[in-house]
Amino acid sequence: MKEDKNIVDFLNPQKGNSPDASYFEQLAKNVILQESMAKKRITPFYKKPVVWLVATAASIVFILLLNVKSTEGPVTLLAMNDISTEEIRTYIDANIDEFDTYLLSEFVSEESVEESKTDIIVESPSSDTDPIKELEEVDLDDILDYLELEEIDIEDLEDELYI
């Protein structure tokens, strides 16, 4: 038989065993207790936003400091590289009296001295100057004063030079 009524009308809803009033009163108490406990619950240290903010700020400062420190080296090296070897030599020649050999040698290791091809500056007479001529220009008295100052006996010198 085909029904005109809706199929739902052939289903009779059963009155379920609804809990009694005490169940709902207890439920209300449980929820209130649960929520009051949740409010009182102490937030762990690591969950506090302020801790994360401070930690983040400290990390940023630390990273920035590292960056600043690391950029100082290359800048200095770059400046040193800008100076040519010729300029350095000229400076040393001009100020050689002020250099303390002992201090300089302290900073130069033995290995680096061996490995490096150090140019030895040798004083060579200029081609356009004649030593005999220069000597002739020196006054005889000056020569005698110099020999006397150096305590060189003129006779010994004559023997050595077979004069």
Partner 1 sequence: MIKHLDDKAIIKLFNQGGSASNDAFTQIVTHYGPILYNQIRALAKNHEWTNDILQNVFVKVFQNLSTFKGDAALYTWMYRIARNESLNFLEKEKRRTGVDIDAPLLEILAGHDVLDATTPELISNILQEAIATLPEKQAAVFQLKYFEDLKYKEISQKLNTSEGALKANFHHAKQKIEKFILTRLNH
Both tokens of 24, joined, read: 């709902």
Contact flag: residue 16 with partner 1 (CB under 8 A)? yes
Site string for partner 1, 107-126 (x = CB under 8 A): --------------------
Question: What does the DSSP 8-state code read for residue 96?
Answer: G
99 neighbors 92 (Cβ within 8 angstroms): yes
Choice from 19, 51, 112, 146 touching partner 1 (CB under 8 A): 19
Distance in Å, CB of 56 to partner 1, minimum: 30
Contact flag: residue 37 with partner 1 (CB under 8 A)? no
Q: Which is nearer to partner 1, 9 or 137 (CB)?
A: 9
Q: Which is nearer to partner 1, 32 or 57 (CB)?
A: 32
CA 25, chain centre distance (Å): 70
Both tokens of 76, joined, read: 């200095």
Q: How many residues bind partner 1 (CB under 8 A)?
A: 26
Contact flag: residue 25 with partner 1 (CB under 8 A)? yes
Distance CA 146, CA 157 (A): 13
Distance CA 33, CA 40 (A): 11
Distance CA 57, CA 51 (A): 10
Distance in Å, CB of 9 to partner 1, minimum: 8
CA-CA distances (angstroms) from residue 8 to 2, 14, 148? Answer: 14, 13, 143
Locus of tokens 């903010």: 53
Contact flag: residue 155 with partner 1 (CB under 8 A)? no
Contact flag: residue 60 with partner 1 (CB under 8 A)? no
Distance in Å, CB of 40 to partner 1, minimum: 14
| Binding residues vs partner 1 (CB under 8 A) | 1, 3, 6-14, 16-19, 21, 24-25, 27-32, 34-35
